Each structure stands twice: as C-alpha cells, then as structure tokens.
Amino acid sequence: MSENGHSETSAPGSSWALVTGSTSGIGRATAVGLAQDGYSVIVTGRDRDRAVETRRDIEAAGGHAIELVADLGDPAAVRGLVTRIREAVDGPLDVLVHNAGGGGFAPTESTPEEMFDAAFNLHAKAPFLLTGAFAPAMAERGRGAIVNVGSLSTSMAAAGTCAFQASKAALSMMTKSWTAEYGPRGVRVNSVDPGFILTPVNEGVRHMYGTYLASLPAGRGGDAEDVANAVRFLVSPKASYINGATLTVDGGKTAVVAM
C-alpha cells in the first residue's frame, strides 16, 4: 500500500504510461488524456496531495492510475522510482513522457552552481536515467513511444535563463540520440516544444502578458490540453511514421517575425 492508503498495483493486462511531473499543468492534462486513450497511468511528482488528486481524476473518469511520489531533481530518487515502478507494475510500460520541469532563472554570472545542477538533474539526468531503465524493454518488445516535453528555449534564447535553456536543449538532443538508438527496434522518440502555456504556475501573472499573447498568430496563450493533445497524438498509431521530430505548440510564435 502507498502512504495514502491507495494500493500500488497494476491492472491486469494493462499497457502503462509513465508521465513525469503529472501532478499539475501539462503533465496532469497529459496523464488524464492518456488514461482516456486506454492506458493505465503512473502519476508522479513531488506533491503527494496533488498526485492523489490526479489519480482520483483519472479514476473518476473510468481510467486506472497509481501515484508514486518522487523528486526527480534527485538522481537517487529517480533510481528509487524505477525500482518502485518495477515492483508495482506487472504490465508493459509502452509510453514514457518526460514532462517534469522547473528551476530558477538568473544571469549567468549570478547563477549558483546548485541552480545549474538542479536544472540538468531535472531536465536531462532524470530523463536519461528513466529512458535507460525502460526503453530497452520497449525495444525488446518492438514497440513503445517516448515524448520529451521541451521548450522554445531549444530554438530561441532569452537573457537570464541560460541554465534552464541549456538543460532543455540537452533534452532536445536526447530525442535525436534515442531515435538513433531505439528507433530501429520499434521505439518512437519525439519532442513537444510548448510556447506560452497558461498553467497554475503562471495563471496569477496572466495580466502581465496581455500584449504579448495578443501578438501571437493564435491570439491567445495555450492551455495545458493543447500540449497534452500533441503528446497524445505522438504516442498514438496515427503518428506511426513520426520519429525524431519536434512538434512546436506555440500558437505560431516561432513562425512569424514581429514587425
């Protein structure tokens, strides 16, 4: 049993999806959406109460999920999560969504080394460890889908965000490396790069971005479901010939030059 009393057991015959950072925002919308698509979902994040809420949302809609709380910024916790998943789940893990993100922002000369390390632990090392743990079994079965949730930081820069952007760029390169490694054995690896997405993290400052959002070709900021739907498409059979690609979900931001 988990600490909240929920049994950490798999549903018989389930095909599983692991969504990191699935306790809020894009991750939560993705977890709920994949459950609607028929996957049993492993919900994971740092906040136990929000993890339980996500699992209950999935179950209320008729899906199946378990929650396994872990701080993916801690490599030891990532390794522990791998062990706990293997103990709790007896079906195949067919989908892996690297969504967990966060971190501080500061000019390079003011960035503490701890902030730099935290960004790379969360955005690069955690996906690296989880993929190394679960992608080989996908390749053995000849099927599986991995989606890295990146950032527009992989193609355009902003001052004061070097550590964050560099770590997201590393994740973007992993998409290509894993395509080379696992693509020939039936595993598809793609990226989704969100633009400005209105999530609980930035909802309180929505008013500060009115002019910016109105300038986007879409005329609005994105919702978590906009990104979640892109992830759901990339893991679905409809995207069976898409591998090593990046799908930008930014309302047209990177396609149009401001004049």
CA separation for the pair 89, 34 (Å, rounded): 17
Give the mean pLDDT of 85-111: 91
pTM for the model stands at: 0.91
Give the mean pLDDT of 30-48: 97
Query: What's the pLDDT tens digit per position in 169-183?
Result: 999 999 999 999 999
What pLDDT score was predicted for residue 102? Answer: 86
Give the mean pLDDT of 12-21: 85
* Amino acid code (one letter) for 258: A
15 pLDDT more than 60: yes
What pLDDT score was predicted for residue 221? Answer: 85
**What is the pLDDT confidence band of residue 208, given thresholds at 50, 70 and 90?**
low
pLDDT-wise least confident of 60-64, 136-140, 217-221: 217-221
Q: Is the model more confident about 208 or about 196? A: 196
Query: What's the pLDDT tens digit per position in 238-255?
Result: 999 999 999 999 999 888
CA separation for the pair 3, 78 (Å, rounded): 18
CA separation for the pair 111, 35 (Å, rounded): 39
pLDDT-wise least confident of 86-95, 158-167, 210-219: 210-219
Give the mean pLDDT of 222-233: 96
What pLDDT score was predicted for residue 11? Answer: 54
CA separation for the pair 85, 72 (Å, rounded): 14
Domains along the chain?
Answer: 16-251 (3.40.50.720)
What pLDDT score was predicted for residue 42? Answer: 98
CA separation for the pair 126, 78 (Å, rounded): 6
Q: HSE-up of 19 (CA within 13 Å, CB side)?
A: 29
Confirm if 70 and 81 have CB atoms less than 8 A apart: yes
Give the mean pLDDT of 53-81: 97
Confirm if 14 and 40 have CB atoms less than 8 A apart: yes
